[in-house]
Amino acid sequence: MAPRESFKIDKNDPDLQTFELYIAELHPEFRALRQNGQPSYEHPDFCEKTLEFSCLPASDDPYDLLAINLFDKSDIEKYISYVFDRLREKISKLISNDKLKFRTFSRIEKELVNVKYNSVIDNAITNGIQELDNVLKYSYSILDPWLSEYLPTIINIDKNILINNELLNEIVIKTKEVVTVLKELSQAPFMRQDVEMSLWNKDKCFAFLSTLFLTEYVGGLEDYVNEYFQSYEDYKASKKINIIYDRGYLADSGMPRWIKLYAVLILCYELLNVLGDDSKVDKYQSPSKFIYIYRHGGSAGDDFNITYRWLFIKAWLYSYLKNKDMSASKASLAIVKDDRFYYLDNELRIVKDGYKETDEECFSRRKNTLTKELSKWNKHTGEFGYVSQMLFKKSMNSYEKQKKKGL
């Protein structure tokens, strides 16, 4: 019997180039593996290091690191609009027309000024306007560590600035604090002074206050960011600091042309997360799901997550097999027993009638799927790599469907 042929992935496989362009370029942990102009997957410890990353590409995390770095300024603006629409849906029956909406907001603002109560922030006697103003100032301060990444220093001249997991987690934690305070405020006395509003449930009160707060927050963002950078310009002038190069982000005024305010994404989603029962939260699109759907023509986000994950698996296998001689079947064993490759398997492992498959059944199912995938890679002869072609084809089909719907 002839020995089985070793399974290899060609170093010129177009899928590897797609991985480097679509994933490594926008994922700081992968990008850090590039050495001497070589792609990340050529790093000698690629296999070991990537499985230790905080967030593998295309996970189900609402703040998936790759997905967040896919957002540009216009994408963030679209997500803000999406969240405003969801909040307004929650209170649309309460405020049915613009005149009534204006009158209701006016009443709330009056109560915010007039009603005195113990602050949920510092236990001092305050009113709603002062309370919201304190929360607003704290919310803006969450931006500072990220804005500092854009300062034109000699140390950092990278024009493609990515957010890393450490900073992202810091923003998430602080934003959750803001939302917790807003939740407490929505149950404070001034939200119950008006006869009509005294009949609202907690969700509706929170949605109303969130809409008011988010409107103020977004409206003041530009001024806050400009003031931040102007204070830096003033500091440079006072210290006679002269930075002679332009990273491409700074306009003539010294203000950045493009700032990707990721903290806004997080605030928006955390506000949505409070609304409704936990079982209903999935109906709201997280930033991760939103960007995958938006970037790929309105198709299901999970479908594209899986394709992005295949790109990573292919790059991982290329590195793993580079100096090994083994069959495709044996190579697949390195993946099928590692849960880190299978972010959706918590759902897949629940079969019919609540029965949960055993580990052996799980590994067998994974091995069957992976072996079939490897066979497709081997047989593929198109101009693009097999996984890349699937990604582009799904995107094209989604756009065509959207076009037919007139969207």
Question: Are 82 and 32 in a shared domain?
Answer: no
Question: Are 54 and 130 in a shared domain?
Answer: no
**Do 314 and 387 touch, CB atoms closer than 8 A?**
yes
Question: Are 121 and 256 in a shared domain?
Answer: yes
Tell me whether residue 65 is in a domain. Answer: no
Question: Could you say which of 285, 318, 334 is where a domain stops?
Answer: 285
pLDDT in tens, 276-291: 544 444 567 899 989 8
Tell me whether residue 2 is in a domain. Answer: no
Reduced to 3 states (helix: H, G, I; strand: E, B; else coil), residue 250 is strand
Strand intervals (E) in 143-256? none
**Do 326 and 6 touch, CB atoms closer than 8 A?**
yes
Quickly state the pLDDT bin for 99 (edges 50, 70, 90). Answer: very low
Question: Are 115 and 189 in a shared domain?
Answer: yes
The gap from C-alpha 45 to its chain's centroid, in whole angstroms, comes to 27
Tell me whether residue 4 is in a domain. Answer: no
Residue closest to 75 by CA, chosen among 231, 209, 211, 261: 261
Tell me whether residue 3 is in a domain. Answer: no
Torsion of Cα atoms, 73 then 75 then 77 then 81, to 10°: 180
Question: Are 176 and 258 in a shared domain?
Answer: yes
Tell me whether residue 325 is in a domain. Answer: yes
Question: Are 309 and 268 in a shared domain?
Answer: no
Give helix then strand counts, H and E, for the chain: 17, 2
- Cβ neighbours, 10 Å, residue 283: 10
Range of the domain at 155: 70-285
Helices 98-114 and 128-141: crossing angle in degrees, nearest 10, is: 100
DSSP state of 350: B
pLDDT in tens, 107-165: 666 666 666 666 666 667 777 777 788 889 999 999 999 888 776 554 444 556 789 99
**Do 388 and 354 touch, CB atoms closer than 8 A?**
no
| Domains identified in the chain, total number | 2
DSSP β-bridge partners for residue 35: 38
pLDDT in tens, 191-212: 666 656 666 778 888 888 898 8
Q: Against a cut of 0.85, is the pTM above it?
A: no
Question: Are 30 and 77 in a shared domain?
Answer: no
Question: Are 102 and 222 in a shared domain?
Answer: yes
Question: Are 28 and 159 in a shared domain?
Answer: no
Radius of gyration of the chain (CA): 25
DSSP β-bridge partners for residue 250: 256
Question: Are 76 and 219 in a shared domain?
Answer: yes
Most confident of 157-166, 258-267, 297-306: 258-267
Question: Are 27 and 88 in a shared domain?
Answer: no
Report CA-CA distances (Å) from 210 to 46, 180, 283. 44, 11, 18
Question: Are 193 and 322 in a shared domain?
Answer: no
Question: Could you say which of 240, 261, 285 is where a domain stops?
Answer: 285
Tell me whether residue 215 is in a domain. Answer: yes
